[in-house]
Chain A
Amino acid sequence: MGTYVEWDALGNILLWGLVVGAGLPALFALGVRIAEGPGARDANGRISTGRKILSGICFGIAALTVLGAVAYIAAGGH
């Protein structure tokens, strides 16, 4: 079996798959929680600036990763 499966590549795919493929949604979810979670809005229904910035960073990283992936595809890495 050893020669039939490229275990090195598979390990890398699994590791980075978990980091990016599971980590990125988690980061996005964190942004959602910061922006709209319990206690996010004050009595007037506004979201505090700090929360806006923090959630913006989470969404920003997610958006940048998508753009990075597009650049990667365009560069012929795919």
Chain B
Amino acid sequence: MVRVTEPLLLAVVVATALAFDFTNGFHDTGNAMATSIATRALKPKQAVLLSASLNLVGAFLSLTVAATIAKGIVDSDVVTLGVVLAGLTGGILWNLLTWLLGLPSSSSHALIGGVVGAVLAAAGTSGVLWDGLISKVLLPALIAPVVAILVASVGTRLVTRFTRDVKQDDNDRLFRWGQIGSASLVSLAHGTNDAQKSMGIILLALIAGGAVPADSGVPFWVILACALAMALGTYLGGWRVIRTLGKGLVELESRQGMAAETSSAAVILLSSHFGYSLSTTHVATGSILGSGVGMKGASVRWSVAGRMFLAWLITVPAAGIVGALAYGLGALVGGGVGSFVVFAALIACSAAIWMASRKDAVGHHNVNEDWKPKKDNESILAESVVDHDMKLMRVSKKGKRRKLGGK
């Protein structure tokens, strides 16, 4: 680790790490709460508030923070503050881009990808431990959803079998609680696990910058700042991702939601217990798919799932390219000014993505709307001609038809 004495660079890295922490919460709300929102076990606002509170509590629950980043994946000697900054930039931009597309993707993989890209730019291929990258990142991305699909489909099959002749109202009323309990557990585990990553990055930066001694624990303000950034991100809710997870993959009911979230919580906690970390996002998505596979008569939109798997496969290379570009930009300008330029570019790109998202904004008001392609006016006309039914063209007083076509 190269010692850095530029306080400005340190401040920029800390701010960027907090920004990443924010996008992490923002992007991952859906992992815990999409099912509860889709089945209306909780109102959208209630769900994100509950999840944010539990993420906040989770961040304080356990503090086994280590000042490492991408350990065993890149050579730790080449990780400088410039690399960390570029890596964070790659992670944030990939998180925002996948959010714009409504695709859940792993925040930790995005960060690792960004760092790997930055290391490649800084030190060449020798800086990356390729075996570690394959065994700790790429293969688990394929394995995690398979395990989760299996567990959740078995759970869903058992649950629906046991309750097949229970009235739907009773099922919904009772499973609602099971759903809230299991989803809360996923939120709590997320707060503990992911907030610690950002704390670790900031600790690493503080040590490198000489602001705290090398054997220092995490200062309280770092814990507080990380917990708040993640909770705020969670509360603002990545509604686009929530919508895809809750409505896009499977039409969920409360029994499936409960089975899916319990499967997620169990697989996530067990994987860290057995020391084979699986990404929360991959497990949660797999569980939701599994709850569709295990439900008789339910259809799974595999085309949506396929887009997701593709995004997971390109997460590391895509974030890596951004990370490498960011590192190149910083090195080109050089020094503290370079880090400011990278930071400014990050803000500009983030603002552009946010502007693009406003075109078809998804929020708590429309997160549960039906998942089907919007009809344009021409297809409505064509349908009415083919079916010889003029009524299809009628515009209702509330303008619902027009709304469907107009967007």
B158 interface hit (Cβ, 8 Å): yes
Stretch at the interface among B170-178, B330-338, B360-368, B393-401: B170-178
Query: Which B residues are CB-close (under 8 A) to A21?
Result: 151-152, 155, 262-267, 270
| Pairwise interchain contact A75-B62, C-beta atoms closer than 8 A | yes
Let me know if A37 and B166 touch, CB within 8 A. yes
Q: Shortest CB–CB separation between residue A13 and chain B, in angstroms?
A: 5
Distance in angstroms from A73 CB to nearest chain B CB is 5
Docked complex: B138-164 residues within 8 A CB-CB of A:
139, 143, 147, 150-152, 154-156, 158-160, 162-163
Task: Point out which of B158, B162, B165, B185 has the most chain A C-beta atoms below 10 A from its C-beta.
Answer: B162
Asked if residues A36 and B174 are in contact (CB atoms below 8 Å), the reply is: yes
- Segment of B117-125, B220-228, B272-280 in the binding face: B272-280
Which residue of A3, A18, A30 is within 8 Å of B150 (Cβ)? A18
Q: Mark A32-71, 1 if CB is under 8 A from B, else 0.
A: 1101111000000000000000000000001100100110
Question: Which residues from 6 to 42 on chain A have a C-beta closer than 8 Å to any C-beta of chain B?
Answer: 6, 9-10, 12-14, 16-18, 20-26, 28-33, 35-38
A32 and B170 within 8 A (CB): yes
Q: Is the CB of A33 within 8 A of B267?
A: no
Chain B positions 171-221 with a Cβ under 8 Å from a chain A Cβ: 171, 174-175, 178, 181-182, 184-185, 188-189, 192-193
CB-contact partner of A78 in B139, B184, B189, under 8 A: B189
Q: For B188, what are the chain A residues with a Cβ–Cβ distance below 8 Å?
A: 70, 73
Tally of A interface residues using CB under 8 Å: 41
> Could you tell me the distance between the alpha carbons of A37 and B168 in the complex, rounded to whole angstroms?
11
The closest CB in chain A to the CB of B265 belongs to: A69
A75–B159 Cα distance when bound, in Å, is 31
- Candidates B135, B160, B175, B275; contact of A4 at CB < 8 Å: B135
Which residues of the partner chain B approach A18 to less than 8 Å between Cβ atoms? 150-151, 154
Q: How far is the CA of A69 from the CA of B192 in the complex (A)?
A: 13
Partner of A26, one of B150, B158, B184: B158
Whether B262 pairs with A4 at a CB distance below 8 angstroms is: no
Minimum CB–CB distance for A78 against chain B, Å: 5
Min CB distance, B292 to chain A, in Å? 15
Kindly list chain A residues whose C-beta atoms are within 8 Å of the C-beta of B38: none
Q: Which residues of B contact A9 (CB under 8 A)?
A: 271, 274-276
Which residues of the other chain, B, contact A5 by a CB distance below 8 angstroms?
135, 139, 143
B276 near A28 (CB under 8 angstroms)?
no
B259 within 8 A of A: yes
A66 to B186, CA, bound (A): 10
Report A23 CB to chain B, min CB distance, Å: 8
**In the bound complex, how far is the Cα of B154 from the Cα of A23, in angstroms?**
9
* A4 CB contacts on chain B under 8 angstroms: 131, 134-135, 139
Chain A residues with CB under 8 Å of B150's CB are 14, 17-18
Residues of B within 8 A of A70 (CB): 185, 188
- B61: A residues at CB distance < 8 A: 73-74
Cα A4 to Cα B187 in complex, Å, equals 30
Q: Please tell me if B269 contacts chain A, counting CB pairs below 8 Å.
A: yes
Which of chain B's residues have a CB closer than 8 A to the CB of A32? Answer: 162-163, 166, 170-171, 174-175
B91 within 8 A of A: no
Bound CA–CA A3/B289 (angstroms): 29
Q: Which residues of B lie under 8 Å from residue A63 when comparing CB positions?
A: 181
Chain B residue nearest to A22 (CB atoms) is: B155
User: Closest Cβ of chain A: how far from B285's Cβ, in Å?
Assistant: 15
Q: Does B58 contact A (CB under 8 A)?
A: yes
Q: Does B258 contact A (CB under 8 A)?
A: yes
Which residue of chain A is the closest to B178 with respect to CB atoms?
Answer: A28
Q: A78 and B185: CB pair below 8 A?
A: no
Partner of B263 from the list A22, A35, A37 (CB cut-off 8 Å) is A22
**In whole Å, how far is B162's beta carbon from the nearest beta carbon of chain A?**
4
Not counting A13-B276, A30-B162, a sample of 4 additional A-B residue pairs whose C-beta atoms are within 8 angstroms of each other reads: A17-B151, A35-B170, A66-B182, A73-B62
Q: What is B's interface to A at a CB cutoff of 8 Å?
A: 58, 61-64, 131, 134-135, 139, 143, 147, 150-152, 154-156, 158-160, 162-163, 165-167, 170-171, 174-175, 178, 181-182, 184-185, 188-189, 192-193, 255, 258-259, 262-267, 269-276, 278
- Could you give 8 example pairs across A and B, Cβ below 8 Å? A13-B274, A13-B276, A21-B151, A24-B155, A29-B162, A36-B166, A69-B265, A73-B61
